[in-house]
Amino acid sequence: MNNPLITDEEREQLLVNGRARAVGQAIDPLPVVRLFTPDAHVTWLLTELDPEDGDTAYGLIDLGIGMPDVGTVQLSALASIVGPRKQPVMRDRYFQAARPLSEYVRLAQENGSNID
């Protein structure tokens, strides 16, 4: 399944992490990709992709309302979202994870938003 929001390399790393979690490994990976809405302050730091459907991603979701949390989202759904100024969800081409997901979650919950 091709998705314009992630590169082939990002998809493969997300699937590697998803397979590890699916077999019960305790993992705390670095986020692989950061997606965002340029006009709505919503971000997704994704660490893995469900190996069964290849569409359900897991990571830190910050809807811009002060309550960031971990959860799942379908990449196919993100591809159809547009913000208030009709801007689509975009991939942050320059994002490089600086810490594991648990640290992003802790800092985001302390600050009320994703800080990176």
pLDDT digits (tens, 9 = 90+) for 73-100: 999 999 898 888 888 999 999 999 999 9
On whether residue 2 sits in a domain, the answer given is no
- Stretch 33-41: mean pLDDT: 91
Check whether 115 has a pLDDT greater than 90.
no
Record the tokens describing residue 116, joined without a space: 């990176």
Q: How confident is the model at residue 72 (pLDDT cuts 50, 70, 90)?
A: very high
On whether residue 116 sits in a domain, the answer given is no
| Whole-prediction pTM | 0.90
On whether residue 76 sits in a domain, the answer given is yes
On whether residue 83 sits in a domain, the answer given is yes
Q: CA–CA distance from 105 to each of 2, 52, 54, 109, 110 (Å)?
A: 28, 25, 23, 6, 9
Record the tokens describing residue 101, joined without a space: 């997901």
State the pLDDT at residue 1.
Answer: 47
On whether residue 3 sits in a domain, the answer given is no
State the pLDDT at residue 116.
Answer: 64
Percent of the chain with pLDDT over 90: 72
On whether residue 1 sits in a domain, the answer given is no
State the pLDDT at residue 66.
Answer: 86
On whether residue 75 sits in a domain, the answer given is yes
- The helix (H) or strand (E) run that includes residue 40 is none
Domain range for 32 is 8-111
On whether residue 73 sits in a domain, the answer given is yes
Q: How many domains is the chain partitioned into structurally?
A: 1
Q: How confident is the model at residue 40 (pLDDT cuts 50, 70, 90)?
A: confident
